[in-house]
A and B are shown apart, each in its own frame.
Chain A
């Protein structure tokens, strides 16, 4: 009896001891997560103070249409980004065709293009007055819009095309990693067993990539939800648009906060679905030794190979080529703007802010991911997920929540200093650039967390277990074994946050102090005068600057993969 119960006791007591040791890691994580949740909590708080007097109008006239449009948009963007992302990832991983190496990293380029610029560029390009339709009219002799039919970009479908064109790299990046690590091994096994290629793709590869597809799509869908620029420009009435008309045109911040809360619930449902989909779906990569045995890529022949080149080139042209073409055209006529000290200052500010935000966000995300790894308690996981849901809120709404939180803190500190120290501290956080960094950190925490968690899940758990059995504490094991292996994931996280902070507009414009301009606010100031052309140079600078880390990342990931071939 006693002999049998002894191990049982040991097992039972282990979690208690572990919990104590983990407190040091958990406490900062909980504090950080709570701070990140604060602006969201404030938005929900405002929603709860509302009387609900706007709801009859919202329910009767706004919500049905806006919710239907938003859901349709989400569905189309999910399908669009998933099919582009998966197809491209599989083509560049499994096949060899002309320009494959260049295209493989160029597929990440659309990430550098903010959705609001893409929408503008697509509008310029495809609308009645743009080059495509003008050429068509000249060619076929039509006079007015009534003479012929042309698909309207100003529609839910058009918006879905624009958003899919710039957002698909999120899916491509996550899925390509999975395919690189094991896709071809499994596929080859299946093929040697006699399965047809199409069957292999649908029966083997898609299921293997499913968690990665869903993780990528979750980011895409949150970006779609928080988008205001593209939807506004293309005249599509999404929930986000309804939030702003309720707030600004009908003077009801409470009503707007209530709509935002509905959106938050939608996001939490999304995140829950993502978690359910990922549960029990950890495909641990066969590492180095097995990879060496990877067979060479399938060489494509004849027209087939050019077809593959075109298939991969098309999304790059649409998500990167069109915006770059439209804005370069304007920028070339404004080269003298490069000498404008205000633009140069905006450039420096943008890079510095994005750099700070990337560092802070990755560090915080690491703490959060480590805490959820150690604790696995429901509460820690829930707080971490809630803090990530801020990504799906429109930047202005999240910014407002943060504005209220920071100003309250600042004014309390100031009142205390005035009463007890005899001087005023003013607005320490909300009156300085710190507010912008904090806002972007909260906004993009989900990106960093997702990338790091995905990296962690790809590592076989026995690495950690081995280190622990050799007497390392969990934290030491993380620091000495896991984190070094996570370097690519950390790099991905930092690049994603850096690029998104560069593109960020709405929270920045609300929270920035006097004299603080970024490239994005520069573009917006021109756009708000109706002269987007004057902001073209700043737009091109955003795209070019974002390109640098994106290309570096893409190449680093490729090197990582090719080195093991």
Chain B
């Protein structure tokens, strides 16, 4: 290459860099993460990784269209890793062909086969149970099943967030996987008729509603209880958490429905080596411990203990249903929510 073209090239690059202040360049020593998970939650984890390796991390938080964005960006996509908080999005990323398989002994040794893609396209990092929040005062029983939620004895006593939310869809999809669509439709109708009000808010909203006496049981993820118990800014939330007890459904039979938060390597990852290092770190006992402690979820690695607060919830027996069965039934679950008119709440 001649001196002149080289100078032209450098000038061109400098001009573009100056004009657009583009995000991270393709330099060494970085990992770029497109994340459904809120950046503050993973910051301690990523900081620990940077301390150990000197590799810096950039997080871009997206709520909708993460897969479409990577797909559209194509070969120029800056994304190295994809973080999600639900199995549905992980399997969708694989289906769209925006991930690449990873076969790494260190990762596979730490993550049980049930919680990773058989082809290596995605890996679970933490699990969360979808449990029943029950009023300490008004609910006597200490065991429950998902099936039982359709029992008329709960009429006007159950609160839940939107049926179209990913967490509920995964639960309904697991019901389809276990019992078939017809049963689930009847069950969902029964659950709908037992609702105290239209589905609304987040999982925490349901605990607050129990505290206020609007309903007696709610459906929610385990970690929200930990977040409420430790909320120093809004100490009122500690009262919500104190008003409820956690019931792990179906402990007597198949176990409690769990969903995963997870990661996948982007197909055109520009910093693939660094990304693999981060994946190994996240799967390692050290990474697992920080992550589980921070988000009050269950670490996926069998050797790592959950946080003390999480242990105090009681023991969880996870439903061993393969996660891709849940992903495969998501669409059917979403359609059932429509056909049963679940979102309209109880018929008054």
Contact = CB atoms under 8 A, between A and B. Distances in A.
A45 interface: no
A425 to B, nearest CB: 7
Given A249-B331, A432-B21, A244 B64 contact: yes
Contacts, number: 175
Interface residues of A, number: 74
A509 to B, nearest CB: 6
Interface in A227-248: 232-235, 237, 241, 244-245, 247-248
Interface in A392-438: 396, 399-400, 403-404, 407-408, 410-411, 414, 421-428, 430-434
A403 B72 contact: yes
B338 A427 contact: no
Contacts of A235: 162, 198-200, 343, 345
Interface in A68-103: none
Contacts of B22: 426-427, 431-432, 513
A396 B65 CA distance: 8
B330 interface: yes
A61 B212 contact: no
A530 B227 contact: yes
B73 A143 contact: no
B41 A529 contact: yes
A253 interface: yes
Contacts of B53: none
A525 B23 contact: no
A525 B36 CA distance: 10
Nearest to B92: A251
B213 A411 contact: no
Contact of B68 (A123, A400, A534): A400
A432 B23 CA distance: 7
Interface in A125-162: 128-129, 134, 143-146, 152, 154-155
Interface stretch (B12-20, B104-112, B123-131, B318-326): B12-20
Contacts of B58: 514-515
Interface string A524-547: 111011110110000000000000
Contact of B197 (A154, A232, A233, A529): A154
A530 B16 contact: no
B124 to A, nearest CB: 20
Given A145-B197, A411-B76, A525-B40, A510 B65 contact: yes
Contacts of B203: 530
Of B39, B68, B345, the most chain A CB neighbours within 10 A belong to B68
A143 B216 CA distance: 13
A432 B331 CA distance: 34
Interface of B: 1, 5, 9, 12-13, 16, 20-24, 32, 38-41, 58-65, 68-69, 72-78, 88, 92, 95, 156, 162, 164, 166, 169, 196-204, 208-209, 211-214, 224, 227, 231, 233-234, 330-331, 334-335, 338-339, 341, 343-345
Given A253-B68, A407-B73, A530-B224, 4 more contacts: A128-B209, A249-B334, A333-B234, A421-B9
20 contacts: A61-B338, A144-B213, A145-B196, A235-B199, A237-B344, A244-B64, A249-B166, A253-B68, A333-B234, A403-B68, A414-B76, A422-B1, A431-B20, A433-B20, A513-B22, A521-B61, A525-B40, A526-B38, A530-B204, A533-B233
